[in-house]
Chains A and B, each alone.
Chain A
Amino acid sequence: MEAAAIPVGGARDDVIDEARTGRLVLWYVAASTAFLFIAGLLGMLLRESQADLVRIKPSIFYAIMTAHGLGAFVAWAAFAVMGLGFWVLSEVGFPMRPLGFLFARTAWWTMVIGVLGIVVTTLFMGFGASWVFLYPLPFHSAGDWSDTATGLFSFATLLVGVSIITWCLAILDTVTGPGLGAPEGTSWLKRLGCSLGFGYIWPRRFATERKLPYPVIPLAVIGVDMIIATLPLAALLIEMIIQALDPSVSIDPLLAKNLLWYFGHPVVYLLLFPAVSIFYLLVPRFAGKELVAGRVVAFAWFLGVVVNVLVWAHHIYLDYPEGTIQAALNTSMQPLTYAITLPSAISLYSLSATIWRSNYQWTAAGKFLAVAMVSWLVAGLQGLINATIVFNGVIHNTMWVVGHFHNMALLNIGLVIFAAIYAFLPKLTNREWYSESLSNAHLWLTVIGGYGMVIPMLIQGLEGAPRRYAVLPSQYDATTQITIPFVIMLALGQIVFAWNLIETLRGRVRKQHEGFGFAFGLTMVLILSGLVLGGSALALNSKNAGRTPSAGGANAAAGANASVGQSEFSQTCGSCHTLKAAGASGTVGPNLDQVKPTYAKVMEALAKGGLGSGTMPKNLYTGAEAEAVAKYVSEVAGR
């Protein structure tokens, strides 16, 4: 399979030579890896803030959360596999052609500019509507960011969308090219069918000179689907740009939700499917035999290309307003979502059967792939739970979901990306890796750190911990803090990776200390450092617990001596009102330190639902609780 060359043979001027493709792929790898380090650092800050180690202001927390999500998911993982996909195709004898090459370079530039735009609008302009920017939240920032920031963010994200579509065109141009070996005069659509693996299902109708290499199929599938899926998102983003300029324009929030998730599901597979291509290429190579696969896998991918764009509503299972068809739509999406698991289920079988009783090479890259396969199964089973409506009602928007996609994106797709970098870099750069021991340390730190972070997230989710909370309810504090040493291990792993990468690119090769002992010792030392660093930071921090605000200020007063009025105020009123004594800094309602209401005024406001705009709910407190809150506020306001 790998030996396959361009059927016509010899140097051709209508295709791009391997060296140029390699340089292009290196640019994708370089940029995406740089984004990994930034996005990873931001993620570490978020978890440390939740663990009360470095407490970040909520407005900054949510801006970082927006940047981390898009940064890690799109700018690292998607961007990396987009580039590696071209190399997979090159290795199975599908050279790029000038048009596809132009598209691929355009996709690189639009991605980089788009991502930089996202960085500027989130980290410097405060846009913090989360990476799903659920409409109409971008236009209801409660004073946190401007409509200009929303407009610019939408434009930057639109560039990312354009990059994805352009990449799809580059992939489709390449998979329908001379590598396919389709007979002269075969129409473009028929060649596309061949590249999707239809030849395995209808051998005569989609005949090619050589058997289609399996790694081509997932790339062709996602190349088709991401064009279909990205266009509705582009429409939503253009609407948001227009609305930022002219506030009278708007669209229906439920429609916007559907448009977003119409893109939001397939974009997950923009990460997964190219990763599957890498599995299909590298696992047989390490096992020293062809991929064990027949027609069934082609059927599964045929199902995949169709169903992938018909499962979006499983992200909005809990939206079923009266008088809409959403409930029926959601119901139909459960079996369809089950169907989309089949390409994964069959692929895992094929890969396992390929490894079964083979002479598999347990190099660092080989180990990365094997662990990634296990993560694929482990995270895929979580996906089945998410896909089941009655289960979704429990875990939706909890930390379970955060655990699930870190399991899938970091510990499956991320490990595949690292495996591909370890496997491809020597050929791309003509340099051997600096150190295999460092690669092994990178693997185990990432896996142990990663699962040490993910498993507590999953458990927190099952216990109902909400996701996207700058400050989690205190019942989840212990489980949040457990993750900190592992988060640090994960970070140490990436430092090891960076060190190995830089030394390799400098042309160094480490000869000494390459035995098992060194690798094991180094890994253990770094794991222990993670535990000690994380543990001692938490211990030092808990000593200061009495002095640091434990809930971004708002719950500062919720100590042992706090009065009933004070704690009730912090819980219910602090999100909208500023009251310095309670550490509350809400800006939705009047600043109580300036208004200085009397006892009677507070009682009246609580009963009537405010004394002004009518935004405040009625009867927030009644009876003794109301009296306690009124007494507290009238006593401390302005002090």
Chain B
Amino acid sequence: MNATAEVILILYTVFTIIGVALGLVIFRTTRVGFHIRVADREELEKREGYWGVTAVAMLVVLLLATIFSLPYWTANSGANEPQTIQVTGRQFAWTIDPPVVRENVTTKIVATATDVNHGLGLYDPNGVLIKQIQVVPGATQNLIVTFHTPGIWKIRCLEFCGVNHHLMQGTLRVTR
């Protein structure tokens, strides 16, 4: 599993368990004997505002933690990277030029499509999805990536492109 996917899995699992547990606690308070102490309505309505502020604060934290590492700005900076590959998608194959690259070198993938939308999904030799971008016909899109694992990498199509979409893949050899 991709490192970012692991972060997602951990964060998501923790918050989900807390949320579901809270839900179960709330449902349990409806059991006979529990609702003798009637909850103070005004107090609960006031807490709605506190919860609103808490929710906004948590969202701001998540935003600040993630918004500064977007893939957009380096990809579209126009700077030349040490290694460049041209990748063209068409139903149902990828053209990869050159099909051999070196490991541990910052690489710019310049992607285009000739017919329909495709998705360029980069899988390492262990079958882990490392990065992906969409490829729109008639436009050029860049992906900056460094290949850390030598071997045969795969480019799978990750945007539905027709009847043989699931067979659309290309190979890229990463050498030491």
Contact = CB atoms under 8 A, between A and B. Distances in A.
Interface of A: 58-59, 62, 128-130, 132, 134, 136-137, 140-142, 144, 252-254, 257, 287, 292-294, 296-297, 299-300, 316, 318-324, 327, 330-331, 334-335, 338-339, 341-342, 345-346, 349-350, 352-353, 355-360, 362, 370, 373-374, 377-378, 381-382, 384-385, 388-391, 393-398, 462-464, 466-473, 475, 552, 554, 571-572, 574-576, 586, 588, 609, 615-620, 622
A357 B37 contact: yes
Interface in B22-43: 22-23, 26-27, 29-30, 34-35, 37-39, 41
A356 B26 CA distance: 5
A59 B171 contact: no
Contacts of B146: none
Contacts of A377: 16, 19-20, 23
B8 A357 contact: no
Interface residues of B, number: 94
Contacts of A318: 119, 132-134
Given A254-B136, A464-B129, 14 more contacts: A136-B115, A137-B116, A318-B133, A320-B76, A393-B132, A397-B119, A463-B129, A464-B123, A471-B167, A473-B127, A574-B167, A586-B92, A586-B167, A617-B95
Contacts of B129: 394, 398, 463-464
A342 B59 CA distance: 10
A575 B41 contact: no
Contacts of B73: 327
Interface of B: 1-2, 4-5, 7-9, 11-12, 15-16, 19-20, 22-23, 26-27, 29-30, 34-35, 37-39, 41, 44-49, 51-52, 55-56, 59, 62-63, 66-67, 69-73, 75-76, 88, 90-99, 115-117, 119, 121, 123, 127-129, 131-134, 136-142, 156-171
A128 B163 contact: yes
Nearest to B137: A253
Contacts of A341: 55, 59
A617 B92 CA distance: 10
18 contacts: A58-B166, A62-B165, A134-B116, A253-B139, A254-B139, A292-B45, A321-B139, A321-B141, A342-B56, A349-B51, A360-B27, A381-B15, A382-B12, A385-B8, A395-B5, A397-B119, A574-B167, A622-B99
B8 A381 contact: no
B1 A463 contact: yes
Contacts of B48: 292-294, 296-297, 346, 349-350, 353
Nearest to B68: A390
Contacts of A463: 1, 5, 128-129
A299 to B, nearest CB: 8
A137 B69 contact: no
A357 B76 contact: no
B149 to A, nearest CB: 14
Given A388-B62, A463-B1, A134 B117 contact: yes
Given A142-B162, A358-B30, A374-B23, A322 B142 contact: yes
Contact of B97 (A334, A398, A575, A619): A619
Given A355-B30, A390-B70, A462-B1, A572 B93 contact: yes
A469 B170 contact: no
B164 A575 contact: yes
A137 B117 contact: yes
Contact of A342 (B12, B45, B52, B97): B52
Given A318-B133, A463-B1, A615-B90, A471 B166 contact: yes
Contacts of B117: 134, 137, 253, 257
A356 B44 contact: yes
Contacts of A394: 2, 4-5, 8, 129
B158 A352 contact: no
A137 B160 contact: yes
B3 to A, nearest CB: 9
B39 to A, nearest CB: 5
A475 B123 CA distance: 13
Contacts of A322: 76, 139-142
A60 B108 CA distance: 38
A355 B27 contact: yes
B8 A395 contact: yes
Nearest to A380: B19
For the complex of A and B, list the 4 residue pairs with the smallest distance between their C-beta atoms, beginning with the closest.
A464-B129, A617-B95, A575-B167, A321-B139
B112 to A, nearest CB: 9
Given A327-B72, A338-B63, A381 B16 contact: yes
Contact of A391 (B8, B93, B137, B157): B8
B11 to A, nearest CB: 8
Contacts of A618: 95, 97
Nearest to A330: B72
A593 to B, nearest CB: 17
Nearest to A571: B169
B173 to A, nearest CB: 9
A471 B9 CA distance: 25
A616 B23 contact: no
A575 B128 CA distance: 23
A418 B133 CA distance: 39
B158 A396 contact: yes
B41 A292 contact: yes
A443 to B, nearest CB: 14
Contacts of A316: 134
B132 A140 contact: no
Which of A134, A252, A622 lies at the interface centre, i.e. has the most chain B CB atoms within 10 A of its CB? A134
Contact of A389 (B38, B70, B160): B70
B165 A468 contact: yes
A574 B11 CA distance: 41
Contacts of B116: 134, 136-137, 140, 253
Contact of B121 (A132, A342, A466, A615): A466
B20 A374 contact: yes
B167 A554 contact: yes
Contact of A141 (B30, B156, B162): B162
A342 B175 CA distance: 49
A622 B59 CA distance: 51
B145 to A, nearest CB: 11
Contacts of A391: 4, 7-8, 66
B66 A470 contact: no
A68 B92 CA distance: 24
A388 B58 CA distance: 13
B170 to A, nearest CB: 7
A323 B140 CA distance: 9
Nearest to B56: A342
Contact of A62 (B9, B70, B88, B163): B163
A629 B71 CA distance: 38
A617 B166 contact: no
Nearest to B91: A142
B160 A130 contact: yes
Given A58-B166, A338-B62, A358-B35, A320 B115 contact: no
